[in-house]
Every structure is written in C-alpha cells, then in structure tokens.
Amino acid sequence: MANSSSFKTFSKTLIRSFSSKTSHHNNHQTTHKYLDPNSFLGSWKSPAHPKEAERKLAQLRRDYAKQVKDVRKEYIHEMELLRLEKLRKEEARKEAIRVANEERKRLKAEAAKVRAQERMIAEEEFRKTLLKERAEKLENWRMKQKLHENKKKEANELLRRRSSIWIEEHELEKKLLEVMMYVHD
C-alpha cells in the first residue's frame, strides 16, 4: 500500500518534470544574467610573512566592503526608481480615473440637459395643442351659437313675414266666408 502511494507521487513528479511548460525556476535559469567574474576570486597568493597576509586580507575585506556598499547603494537607487515609477503609474491611473469620472459626469449632465430640453419642447407642444384644441372648440361653439341665432332670426323673420299676412279679426269672418264659398264652387 505504501509502495503504491509513493509510486503515484513519483509518477506525478516525473510527469511534471517532462511537461512542456517551463516552470518559473527553469525560466529564471535561462534568462538570468550573471555578473562579470570577480577579480578577488583566485587572486589570493599566500605571502611569506603572516603580517603581510593580515595586511592583504584587511585590504581585500575593505575592497569587498566598499564593493558591497556600492552594490547596496545601486540596489537602493534602483528600488527608489521602481518605487517612484510605481507611484507615478498609480498617480497616472488615479488621474485617468478622475478624468473618466469627470467626463462621465459631464456626459450625464449634458444628457440631463437634453432630456430637460426635450421635456420642455414636449410640454410646449402639448400646451400649443391644448390651446389649439380650446380655440377650435371655442370657434365651434361660436359657430353653433351663430347658427342657432341665425335659425332664431330666420324663424323670427319667417314668423314676422307670416304675421304680415295674418288677417285681422274683424276681417276673419269675411275671409272665412270667402274661402268656404270658394271651396263649394
């Protein structure tokens, strides 16, 4: 049982090692840039006197400390540049977001203005339509009133004309007799 689990882990690692995808470590090994060879390596020649050896060793240590100090300064400088670049990018991103927000607010305000203008135009058209309809209704009512008055006038005129042919009472009997005679003949 223990052999089968170890076989599984071994096979998984074997499969991983043969996969076509390179790992970060492998990628780093192929892209890594090595420093130039150091002049200190292999430069030590054993002096004859121990005092001379101590002096040379102290000089090597001072030179090494100086080089380490220079490398650290360079590293600190690079890190500061990276920090400044990151800060600049962050500021640029914030500025872009701010500009985009302002643009969006401006577009939103313009859209609100357009909608307000459209609403005002629609209200004005509605008001004009209402006024036009009211004017038409008023004109229609006036025409009906005039027509009614004209009919009344015509009726009165007809009545007045007919009343001019009316017969007076004292002549009514005479006319009736004439009509009766005329009908009998």
pLDDT tens track for 31-59: 777 777 666 666 667 778 888 888 888 98
Count of all residues that appear for the chain in the document: 185
More confident residue, 136 or 169: 136
pLDDT at position 88 over 90: yes
Distance between start and end Cα atoms, the chain: 151
pLDDT of residue 178: 79
Per-residue pLDDT tens over the stretch 99-111: 999 999 999 999 9
The whole-number pLDDT of residue 48 equals: 80
pLDDT digits (tens, 9 = 90+) for 89-139: 999 999 999 999 999 999 999 999 999 999 999 999 999 999 999 999 999
Range 8-17 average pLDDT: 63
pLDDT of residue 112: 96
Phi, psi of 2 (to 5 degrees): -65, -35
Q: Are the C-beta atoms of residues 177 and 169 closer than 8 Å to each other?
A: no
Residue 138 CB-density burial (10 A; 0-12 exposed, 13-18 middle, 19+ buried) = exposed
Q: What is the pTM of this model?
A: 0.39
Chain centre to alpha carbon of residue 139: 51
- Residues 140-167: what's their mean pLDDT? 83
Q: Is 91 helix (H, G, I), strand (E, B) or coil?
A: helix
Residue 167 has pLDDT above 90, yes or no: no
Q: What percent of the chain has pLDDT over 90?
A: 48
Residue 49: per-residue pLDDT: 86
Q: What confidence tens digit (pLDDT) does each residue in 14-34 have?
A: 565 555 555 666 676 777 777
Q: What is the pLDDT of residue 22?
A: 54
